[in-house]
A = this chain, B = another copy of it.
């Protein structure tokens, strides 16, 4: 890895508190790679040779089955993906492709496991990250099982609006086809769900969404911190 990138990585939560020597061990084996959009990085079922850390850009995690494909999660900086597979030395459960230009740190799984065993601060950081990812997936499962399509969309919009500053506007970071897969519906149905939300002040113009009646939308969405709050 180029030495100019090292301070950037060192500041990431996952690495901030570990011993210098452990960090060096990781970095010696790691490389920070740039990828163009729409590159498939990993394929489900293959052995987990690397731990991936999103440094810049975004990645879509998806899975295939039954001739269908679904999006599990969108990964943004700073988070890891396929940490669980790397720690267990098992196959990836999900595939991954870049959405936009991305910089991704790749660390051989074996190195991760070795440093995990020897550096307690890193072990704590790994557990913090892993337990966070666990809770994210549980929330996604609750979202999917307890809500219908329109409610999932409404909550998604409200969450993004608040992440993007609470100014009543949302810029979708993914195309609508991917959003549909993420929300567990077809693109056609997503389009209709936007239509259903029009009376609740949702104005769609391409990827720019304006929320003009957030109170009404919130009443419909009934957001719950135990599903929608990323921090909880």
Q: Which B residues lie within 8 Å of A65 (CB)?
A: 142, 146-147, 222, 224, 226-227
Q: Which B residues lie within 8 Å of A202 (CB)?
A: none
Binds B, one of A82-90, A160-168, A171-179, A193-201: A82-90
Return the CB mask of A219-230 against B: 1 if under 8 Å, else 0: 000101111000
Chain B's closest residue to A90 (CB) is B232
| A131 engages B83 (CB within 8 Å) | yes
Task: Indicate if A25 sits at the interface (CB-CB under 8 A).
Answer: no
A66 vs B151: C-alpha distance when bound (angstroms): 10
How big is chain A's contact interface, by range? Answer: 35 or more
In the complex this chain forms, how many copies of it are found?
2
Task: Indicate if A72 sits at the interface (CB-CB under 8 A).
Answer: yes
- Among B68, B83, B135, B222, the residue within 8 A (CB) of A93 is B135
Q: Which B residues lie within 8 Å of A90 (CB)?
A: 135, 232
Q: Which residues of A come within 8 Å of B, CB atoms? A: 44-45, 63-66, 68, 70, 72, 83-85, 87-88, 90-91, 93-94, 116-117, 120, 123-124, 126-128, 130-135, 137-142, 144-147, 151, 184, 222, 224-227, 232
Identify 13 residue pairs between A and B in the complex whose beta-carbon atoms are under 8 Å apart, listed by A's number: A65-B142, A66-B222, A72-B142, A84-B132, A88-B135, A91-B232, A93-B139, A117-B120, A126-B127, A137-B138, A137-B141, A141-B141, A144-B144
